[in-house]
Copies of this chain bind each other. A is one copy, B any other.
Amino acid sequence: MRKGVMRPGHIQLRVLDMKEALGHYRDLLGLIEVETDAEGRVYLKGWTEVDKFSVVLREADEPGMDFVGYKVLNNDVLDQLQKDLVEFGCNVEEIPAGELTGCGRRVRFDSPTGHMFEIYAEKEQTGKWGVSNVNPDAWPRGLTGMKATRFDHCLLYGDDIDGTLKLFCDVLGFDLAEQVLDENGDRVAQFLTASMKAHDVAFIKHPEKGKFHHASFFLDTWEDVLRAADLISMEDVSLDIGPTRHGLTHGKTIYFFDPSGNRTEVFCGGDYHYPDHEPVTWTTDQLGKAIFYHDRVLNERFLTALT
């Protein structure tokens, strides 16, 4: 949080069919459905999230990610970062408060990898779902499916990941927590954090700009990852890989697809990071193990199925 960016606050995903998408994000993942806005977008959140929403689903002809937004400490930070983004050379657009219901003014910008990001300082705080802020129980009754606790991060594919690293670290105050270097010492993957988490966003080098690999949601335990795997099978959902562990971040994880073809991850555990930590490095000769710690082999689908 060196420059006042706190956390991933929301992600807007394109889905082909809203009803099917709700079967995935609400019933299977267990996100809480919050509301539907005038444009028909549906808002959801994980039960531990204090802000009103963190996932926005928009019905569209193609799957993928519209944008991901980060919440900053306050409006002073927002103003300063807006200037810095312009100075860095981003195309910066201001989205008025209320365009997403309950969300304040957003500053939208593009990245050298061709993705759309946002920062904002204000969002209605409705509190954790199902537990009070006074004498709160350990967890709420009535959760469904995988009981995902929060939107955690996303992984994006694009070409100029060096440029995007500069943008996120120099302008937005993220740190490089983990990386993959090829035999020439060039970075082909970067995991960036604005907090103690091993990643608040990650990028993998890819010839095409602006691709979306997955949105990730946090679970509490390895037992919960098993339960997610069981549900994926019981609901006949398309599995990508897992349960397994990553080498990078050491998170315990499973990947699967929403009905539109967008990839979803649920995971638990993993490394923590502080700003004075040297980045953890994986080398491409160990790329299989870096990605899938147990199999030590990449599946082609994981590299190429993008939206």
Contact = CB atoms under 8 A, between A and B. Distances in A.
Nearest to A228: B294
Interface in A239-282: 239, 242-245, 247, 250, 252, 254, 269, 271-272, 274-278, 280-282
Interface string A151-166: 0000000000000000
Given A6-B275, A245-B138, A280 B233 contact: no
Contact of A233 (B48, B133, B254, B289): B289
Given A223-B222, A275-B73, A278-B133, A294 B242 contact: yes
B230 A222 contact: no
How many copies of the shown chain assemble into the complex?
A: 4
A57 interface: no
Contacts of A7: 274
A240 to B, nearest CB: 10
A301 to B, nearest CB: 12
Contacts of A135: 247, 281-283, 286, 289-290
A50 B196 contact: no
Contacts of A296: 233, 239
B294 A133 contact: no
A134 interface: yes
A140 to B, nearest CB: 9
Contact of A1 (B1, B136, B282): B1
Contacts of A233: 137-138, 289, 293-294, 296
A220 interface: yes
A50 B275 CA distance: 12
A92 interface: no
A293 B232 CA distance: 10
Contacts of A282: 134-135
A139 to B, nearest CB: 7
Interface string A23-42: 00000000000000000000
The 5 A-B residue pairs whose C-beta atoms are closest, nearest first, are A229-B294, A223-B223, A196-B196, A135-B286, A138-B230
Interface of A: 1-2, 6-7, 48, 50, 71, 73, 125, 127, 133-139, 141, 195-197, 220-223, 226, 229-230, 232-234, 239, 242-245, 247, 250, 252, 254, 269, 271-272, 274-278, 280-283, 286, 289-290, 293-296
18 contacts: A50-B278, A73-B275, A125-B278, A133-B278, A133-B280, A135-B247, A135-B283, A136-B250, A136-B280, A138-B293, A195-B196, A196-B196, A221-B221, A221-B222, A229-B244, A229-B245, A230-B293, A230-B294
